[in-house]
Structure 1
């Protein structure tokens, strides 16, 4: 499967990428799904960060989710539904692979404005699929994107 950086996704589909990023930035905490050693899913909360044209995940040192991603980089990330469950802005899911960034210069650049508790793990995201589901009028609208293709839209009543 072909993966894409956030920057490449944003260049290919700027308005869709903006709607996805906006939805993630509406709330601080979201849900990350990783794979445990036995292959079963693990769901945990975390913050996401859009900086330097990329999507980043920061985690406490030796957290289970960081260990999971170090062993198997596949993940799914789901937006917080919001306090009132309105799903205003839709329901967004990103799946792909997370690769740890260990270079001191890259981590130092990231830390400048974010100020995470140190030490920490930092992962850069590569996208396999981005999906946004929303209600428009009386229709359920599912927009999805995968690297190498345009945004596809499905409408259901």
Structure 2
């Protein structure tokens, strides 16, 4: 049974719809190598794991070791949340960013070969492309406002400022 979480789109469509926010999200993920992936265990409880991500050919890719628990989780239930590593400094630079959606495993040898031209994963490995259902950026503005930007497919960015 496939669980749907609402409309989804790939990274390229997000970039087209909201290029400025997409650029900021890519910069935050690019600032560090390792990030946090949340998946769902068999019993429905959350599992968090470290993960490297790649933005290649209009897609956000998740690569992982063969038969890792996070890969098995995604095969069973493709829903995920991914949070960029905030780093060790206290100012958070471009803010905190999170991406949610579904991870779709790619078994096609040609697609995997294209991926391995840019990345040297351990062999064998699982490769997932993402379908985004939400992108969130949270940051502090003028040292007094907490700003939350939320994007969902087919909708403009919604911005909320709190004091």
TM-score bin (small chain): over 0.9
Structure 1, unaligned runs of 5 or more: none
Greater share of strand residues, 1 or 2?
Answer: 1
Structure 1 residue 113: deviation in Å? 1.9
Q: Which runs of 5 or more residues in structure 2 are unaligned?
A: 1-5
The Cα shift of 1:81 comes to 1.2
Are 1:57 and 2:62 matched, yes or no?
Answer: yes
Q: How many residues align?
A: 157
Per the alignment, residue 129 of structure 1 pairs with 134
> What does residue 145 of structure 1 align with?
151
Deviation at 1:86, TM superposition (A): 2.7
- Asked if residue 73 in structure 1 is aligned to residue 78 in structure 2, the reply is yes
Asked if 1:22 is matched to 2:21, the reply is: no
Q: Secondary structure at the match of 2:153?
A: coil
Correspondent of 1:84 among 89, 92, 99? 89
Task: Report the Cα offset of residue 141 of structure 1.
Answer: 0.4
For 1:13 and 1:55, the matched residues in 2 are separated by 15
1:94-105 alignment, distance < 5 Å: 94-105=99-110
Out of 106, 112, 123, the position equivalent to 2:111 is 106
- Spell out, residue by residue over 1:13-64, the C-alpha distance to the aligned partner (whole angstroms, 9 max, x if none): 1111111111111110000000000000000000010001110000000000
Moved over 3 A (4+): none
Q: CA RMSD in A?
A: 0.7
Q: 2:45 is matched with which residue: 20, 40, 65?
A: 40
CA shift digits 1:85-115 (9 cap, x unpaired): 4311100011100000000000001001211
